[in-house]
Amino acid sequence: MATSSRPVRVIQWATGKIGQISIRHFAANPMFELAGVYTTSADKDGVDAGVLAGISPLGVAATTDKAAILALEADCVNYLPLAVDVDDLESLLRSGKNVVTAVGLTFPAPDDERTIRLQAACEAGGTTLHGGGIHPGFVGDIFPLVSSRLMSRIDQLVVTEVCDFSDHPGAAMIFGLFGFGREPDEALGHAQAVMGEIDAPYQESMALLATALDLQVERYTHELTMAVSDRDLTIAAGEIRAGTVAGMRRRWEAIVDGRPALVFLSNWKMADDLTPDICDGTNRYIVDFVGEPSTRITVEHLEPSVTGDPGYPGRIWTGMSVVNLIHDVVTAPPGIRTHLDLPLGRPRGLFHKGDTWRPSS
C-alpha cells in the first residue's frame, strides 16, 4: 500500500496515445514511480517506456509478458487497452493491484455478470477498481453533479461533446469501426450494429448522474444522425468523398416524468459546414443547465494544440481524469468504486517544474 512517504508505484497497461501521455506524466510527477509497462505490440516489446513516450529513457522496458506484469510489486495499474478484457482485469485485481481505467466501467450495473466477477476479484485481492474518462466519466457525471450546486432549479441538463477526428491517423478506427466515408444508409446500419460497446458507457454515465440527482428514469432513448460533406475531404486517415459520412451525432435521453430530463449529445466530425450542421468549432465539452438560472459551462483548451492535432488536449483530459484519482483509489476500501463512492479527488504533484511536451518530429 502506498504511503505519503513514498511515491505510488504504477504500471502502465497499453501504450497507445493516451498511454504515452500517462507515461510522460508518471515520469514528470514526483508523486509517482513507473514500475512497469505492458504493451500488446511485439514491436514495442523490450523498448524503453520513455522512448515509446517520446522522452528520454526511463530504465523501464515495455513487455508483452502478462505474467511478468502480474508478478511486479505495484500499487495501481493504469489500464488503457482499446476495450476491457474482464479476464485481465480479474487477474490484476486478484494479484493485489488497484486499477484505474478510462475505458468505461463508470457505473456498472450491480447484477451484471462482469460486475459480479470484478467485485469478487476486488474482494479476493483487497483491491479497488475505478472507471472514468473525460466523457463518459467526467463531464457527463461528476462535473455536472458538482456544478449543480450552483442551481436553484433544473428543468433539463444537456451535456454536449464536440470531437474533431480530422487529424486522427487511425484509418481502421475511422473508416472501419466508426464507419466514416460510407454512404449514409450504410454507415447508419454499420454504426448501429458495431458500436454497442461505445454506447454503453455513455448510458452508464447518464445513469450515475440520474442516481446522484435522485431521478427516477422511466427509460433511456438513443438516436443516431449521419452528416455529409458537400466536398471531398482529405483527413489524416485518408479521403472522404463528397456525399459520404463526414459527421455523426448521437443523442441519448433519460426520460423522467415523460420528458427528457438528461440529454447527452456527442458530435463527431471531420469538418465544419456539414449537412445537417451537427456542430462547428474546436473540440470542447458544454454543460447546459436549463432552469434557474439557466447556465452554460464550457471546457475547451485555451491555445492551439502543441502537436498540431486538435484532439491532443482531449486525450490529456481523458488520461488525467483517472490518473489524478490514483492516490484516492489506492486508499479506498476494496471494491468497484464510482464517483459516488470516492471523495471529490485531490490530485497530487501537479505543481512541479517541467516543460510542455512536444513531439521531436
Average pLDDT over residues 182-186: 94
Phi, psi of 156 (to 5 degrees): -160, 145
Task: Assign 126 a pLDDT band (cuts: 50, 70, 90).
Answer: very high
Task: Judge if 285 and 156 occupy the same domain.
Answer: yes
Task: Please check whether residues 211 and 283 belong to one and the same domain.
Answer: yes
Q: Are residues 129 and 31 in the same domain?
A: yes
Task: Work out the widest C-alpha separation in the chain, in whole angstroms.
Answer: 60
Whether residue 250 is contained in a domain is answered as yes
- pLDDT tens per residue, range 20-58: 999 999 999 999 999 999 999 999 999 999 999 999 999
In contact, 340 and 212? CB cutoff 8 Å:
yes
Same domain, 94 and 171: no
- 156 and 186 fall within a common domain: yes
Q: Among residues of the chain, what percentage have pLDDT more than 90?
A: 78
Is residue 223 domain-shared with residue 110, that is, in the same domain?
no
Question: Do 120 and 218 share a structural domain?
Answer: no
Q: Which pLDDT value is given to residue 1?
A: 47
Per the structure, the count of domains in the chain is 2
Do residue 91 and residue 63 come from a single domain? yes
**pLDDT (tens digit, 9 = 90+) per residue, 306-323?**
777 778 899 999 999 999
Q: Which domain holds residue 240?
A: 152-292
d(CA 262, CA 214): 12
CA distance 255 to 223: 14
On whether both 326 and 286 belong to a single domain, the answer is: no
40 contact partners, CB below 8 Å, separation of at least 6: 14, 64, 81
**Domain identity same for 164 and 275:** yes
280 and 331 co-located in one domain = no
CA distance 207 to 222: 14
